[in-house]
Amino acid sequence: MSYRELLRHRGYSLLFSGQVLSQVGDAVYEVGIVWLVYRLTGSAAALGWLAFCQSVPYLVCGLLAGALADRWNRRTTMLVSDLVRAAAVAYLAVRYATGNLTAVEVCAVAVVLTTARSFFHPAMRALYPEMLGQEQLLLANSLSEGSKRICKVGGMMLGGVLMAQAQADVVLWGNAASFLLSFVTLLALKKTAQQTESVKPGNSRGTGSLFQEIRSAFGEVYRRRQVLFAIAMSSFGLVVSAGLIKVGLPLLAGNVLHGEGDVYGLLMACFSIGMFLSTASMKKLAARLSLVQLVAVGWLLYGAMFVALSFAPPLTLACVLVGATGFAHFLTDIPVTTLIQQTMPLHRMSACQSIWATASFGSESLGVILGGAVLGVATVGLTFAAAGALLLSLGVVSVRKLRGFGQNVLDRQSLSE
């Protein structure tokens, strides 16, 4: 199975094309809305509130949204989410056009967008195992994440250009249109087995309280120890690494490499290139290692690169090391998503995906806070060295524990049961 063959799958190609369009719009909007709020207020506090409103709803709604997405028709959930997001951004565009837009309204819409996204993504990830075979899941996740990274880089550049030319209206209307285009591709998506078949006896889908369903999803994760271990491993790794990526790399670029924003931009471009190369190599790597072993190797590589960066390498070598870190990053993420898709029952798939998404998002947020605090009192080199040592230890312990683990591949009938 190749990426070209995967894109011949009508259902996946429709979903993929819709998400590419939506992700470009999101990336343009992500840059544009921050700059727009800054222009409206000139306040760093307002930007902080915007970031708060973009993040907290996911932590609050993530688990509930996943459980509800399992109760509801997933395709319909995604359609409604796209319409809600299109309407919310269009509201901002209209208010901006009339000259009445306020930062409070932007923050309120940020809450709506994040909440809608917390429903959309678990439903989308749950559709993959319904429409694709086991051997296609890793490639599908890799292609989707790789395209997301490319769209983000290109979209952010476009967003910066548009805002520099005072084209905020184009940014807003463009993002609203991207959600509508995603909506159109979803309308063309044929119903899957989950959407057309009744729930089989014993699945108990849609019965009991939401909290019981969330508890049952945690039980599913707990019973599948490879999944539990992979989530715990990557959550701990994100706590250690996220602050170094979000806060440490800018300091590395300025304080160690003695550069400006252009050097930081170059490092982040190398990080993105590394992630893209990781998606391109995922199939070959998965032929040699199980999914959980891929995660362990990813954290080993992450740690080794952090230790190397602590020695203040020259710019060219730093770019190579940061690129390798980007390569490792997707090894710690995509296989976890795929493992959940391969092993969790379909009637709890969205809730299980939400557990992983909430764990990773919460760990990353905590990591940024901790990383910023540590970098405030310790040198950049010492912080990278300590984080690298922790990640190397995590990788070594994980590899030793995972000896003998096989790739837990189930057939689609066992998933539905």
pLDDT, average across residues 311-331: 94
Residue 155: name the closest of 142, 170, 166 by CA: 170
User: How far is residue 130's CA from residue 85's CA, in Å, rounded to a whole number?
Assistant: 25
Can you give the pLDDT at residue 1? 64
By the 8 A CB rule, do 143 and 16 touch? yes
pLDDT digits (tens, 9 = 90+) for 254-307: 889 988 767 887 888 888 889 888 988 888 898 888 889 999 999 999 999 999
Sign (positive or negative) of CA dihedral 388, 353, 149, 248: negative
- 255-266 pLDDT, tens digit per residue, is 899 887 678 878
- CB-based contact 189:77 (threshold 8 Å): no
By the 8 A CB rule, do 122 and 65 touch? yes
Instruction: Kindly report whether the global pTM for this prediction surpasses the value 0.85.
Output: no
> Average pLDDT, stretch 97-115?
93
pLDDT score of 191: 57
pLDDT at 228: 93
| Residue for token pair 């409070």 | 104
Per-residue pLDDT tens over the stretch 11-43: 888 888 888 889 888 888 888 888 888 888 887
Q: Minimal CA–CA distance to 220: which of 61, 79, 347?
A: 347
Q: What is the 3-state secondary structure (H, E, C) of 310-350?
A: CCCCCHHHHHHHHHHHHHHHHHCCHHHHHHHHHHCCHHHHH
Residue 212, Ramachandran bin (φ over 0: left; ψ between -120 and 50: alpha; else beta): alpha
- The whole-number average pLDDT for the span 146-154 is 80
**CA–CA separation, 41 and 144 (whole Å):** 36
pLDDT digits (tens, 9 = 90+) for 339-388: 999 999 988 999 999 999 999 988 988 888 898 889 889 999 999 999 99
Pair 382, 310: CB distance under 8 Å: yes
How far apart are the C-alpha atoms of 372 and 365, rounded to whole Å? 11
- pLDDT confidence bin for 136, thresholds 50/70/90: confident
Res 196 pLDDT > 50: no
Domains, the chain, ordered by start: 3-188 (1.20.1250.20), 217-416 (1.20.1250.20)
Query: How far apart are alpha carbons 86 and 113 in whole angstroms?
Result: 9
Cα separation, 162 vs 399, whole angstroms:
47
The CA distance from 272 to 367, in Å, is: 20
Closest CA to 253 of 306, 312, 308: 312
Give the Cβ contact number of residue 314 at 10 Å: 8
Tokens of 361: 């998002």
Contacts of 207 (CB under 8 A, 6+ apart): none
Q: Report whether pLDDT(405) > 70.
A: no
